[in-house]
Amino acid sequence: MRRFVPAITLLLAACATAPQQPVPQVQQPRVITPSRPERTSSLVGLTASELVGHFGNPALQVREGTSLKLQFRGPRCVLDAYLYPPPAGGMQRVTYVDTRSPSGADTDQLACISALETPSPR
């Protein structure tokens, strides 16, 4: 009988189920859209001449390969517009816009575009 007690204990332990782990809930990332996306998106797709017509002559123009960077500066911010030709070829168009304060700190893109559109009196 003494031999059966450990054997029965082992048999019962083998039949026990492991505790179920809770399935982790995956949270979907929140998509934050700007309150006025029309201004930012209005720059994407513009040509260099359209940007010049919109903001005036750029303070800096950098060509690298088939890409072009135009920089527009104002007293409140700096805007860099990056233009690339479409994959099928054709005229370079704005694909990305970056803005910052003159000191280099991040700044609100819509506020910068607005400030450059309506320059302050000197």
**Does the structure show a pLDDT above 70 at 44?**
yes
Domain around 111: 57-122
| Number of domains within the chain | 1
- Whether pTM > 0.75 for this model: the answer is no
Average pLDDT over residues 88-116: 91
For residue 60, the cross-strand partners are 71
Whether residue 22 is contained in a domain is answered as: no
Whether residue 52 is contained in a domain is answered as: no
Whether residue 50 is contained in a domain is answered as: no
**Pseudo-torsion of CA 69, 47, 72, 55, nearest 10°?**
170
- DSSP reduced 3-state for 15: helix
Return the H-helix or E-strand segment holding 84.
strand 78-84
Burial zone of 54 (CB within 10 Å; 0-12 exposed, 13-18 middle, 19+ buried): middle
Whether residue 43 is contained in a domain is answered as: no
Whether residue 73 is contained in a domain is answered as: yes
Whether residue 71 is contained in a domain is answered as: yes
Whether residue 10 is contained in a domain is answered as: no
Whether residue 65 is contained in a domain is answered as: yes
